[in-house]
Amino acid sequence: MDRLAQALPALRGASPTLARWGDELAERLLAGARVLVAGNGGSAAEAQHLTAELVGRFDRERRPLSAIALHAESSSMSAIGNDYGFTEVFARQVRAHGRPGDVVLLFSTSGRSPNLLAAAAAAAEVDARSWALTGPGPNPLARACSEAVCLPGDTATVQETHLAALHMLCRALESAIEARA
């Protein structure tokens, strides 16, 4: 509890960014863009949680939104990893699926994963926005992305705050969609 309490001021400080991301995501997704998300380990679970909230719903009834968890593509992951190396497992999928106007959202507790750094570079190649939710900054992933929210703490605390951050993002997105209706 003490570690989480120490991280909460930074999460509160990220509220304006997460609200802006929610508004921007609403605009982009309603216009036909998609969000591609990725992470490793526990961050993969957080990324997949986000896609479930977007394709399903968070708090409110609304149309489904296009969101793909890249790590959940197990056949692609294993084939790309085997043929091109683990560093390329997300980047190759971003190059395949990413389009101008899409958002690539990357979750990382360290901000140093080579496969996420490659995905951020691939997002720039396809003219997609790249956002990162990371652990303590500055870090390479935060620098590689268009924007980042860096939250302090150890791995468990960062994952806990990432869950709260993704819920904040979903709440902002659904409020923005409702305001546009």
Rounded Cα gap, residues 163 and 7, in angstroms = 13
Residue 97: phi and psi, rounded to 5, are -105, -25
Please give the pLDDT value at position 181. 82
Q: What is the pLDDT along the chain (181 residues), one digit of tens a residue?
A: 999 999 999 999 999 999 999 999 999 999 999 999 999 999 999 999 999 999 999 999 999 999 999 999 999 999 999 999 999 999 999 999 999 999 999 999 999 999 999 999 999 999 999 999 999 999 999 999 999 999 999 999 999 999 999 999 999 999 999 999 8
Amino acid, res. 80: I
**What pLDDT sits at residue 141?**
98
Q: What is the separation of C-alpha 67 from the centre of its chain, rounded to a whole number of angstroms?
A: 10
How far does the chain reach from its first CA to its final CA, in angstroms? 40
Q: How far apart are CA 174 and CA 53, in angstroms?
A: 10
Which H or E element spans position 135? none
